[in-house]
């Protein structure tokens, strides 16, 4: 059974981004900036899940000692999803504003809770979890798949 981490768990979905802003480099830059806000003295560790082609997008996971951040990019449907878990206080407003500015989003929606699954210490399990989370998010954001 997976254990749950307790802290702030924030999900922000963004729509209407230009596909040019949904690049891997832009995602890593954005996540590094967020990491410096959450845990400024720590060097982040990235896990990247790349699909068959750039058009399908990327998912990037950044693991910190007391936080983790995942960003799923979907250029084909001009959407993204940011997931932030931290044992520190996080500001929904500042994260939403930063996400809108970095990726030129037209619309965002968010959800905040106080627990989430913990990350595995094994790299292959983290990658599998990231890919599973990406698949779920893809179906949730791509309304055309639901009908």
Mind listing the pLDDT tens digit for each residue in 47-90?
766 655 556 788 888 888 888 889 999 988 899 999 988 888 87
For the chain, domains (ranges, CATH) are 4-140 (3.60.90.10)
- Tracing tokens 């399908």 back to the chain, one arrives at 56
Residue 43 clears pLDDT 50, i.e. is over it: yes
Taking the C-alpha atoms of residue 45 and residue 52, their distance in angstroms, rounded to an integer, is 23
Mean pLDDT over each residue of the chain, to the nearest integer: 81
DSSP string, 100-125: HHHHT-SEEEEEEEEEEEPPPSSHHH
- Predicted pLDDT at 98: 92
C-alpha closest to that of 61 among 16, 124, 108:
124
Which spans in 9-122 are helix H?
Answer: 24-38, 92-103
Q: What is the length of the chain?
A: 147
Residue 3 clears pLDDT 60, i.e. is over it: no
Mean pLDDT calculated for residue range 98-107: 93
Mind listing the pLDDT tens digit for each residue in 114-132?
766 677 778 788 888 888 8
Mean pLDDT calculated for residue range 105-111: 91
- The residues that bridge with 95 in the sheet, in sequence order, are none
């Amino acid at each position: 059974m997976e254990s749950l981490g307790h802290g702030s768990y924030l999900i922000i979905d963004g729509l209407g981004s230009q596909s040019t802003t949904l690049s891997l480099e832009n995602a890593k830059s954005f996540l590094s900036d967020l990491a410096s806000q959450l845990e400024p003295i720590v060097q982040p560790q990235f896990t990247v899940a790349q699909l068959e082609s750039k058009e399908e997008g990327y998912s990037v996971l950044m693991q910190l000692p007391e936080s983790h951040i995942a960003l799923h990019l979907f250029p084909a449907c001009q959407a993204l999803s940011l997931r932030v878990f931290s044992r520190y206080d996080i500001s929904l407003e500042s994260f939403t504003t930063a996400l809108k500015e970095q990726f030129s989003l037209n619309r965002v929606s968010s959800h905040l809770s106080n627990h989430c699954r913990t990350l595995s210490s094994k790299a292959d399990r983290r990658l599998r979890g990231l890919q599973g989370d990406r698949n779920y998010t893809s179906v949730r954001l791509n309304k055309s798949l639901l009908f």
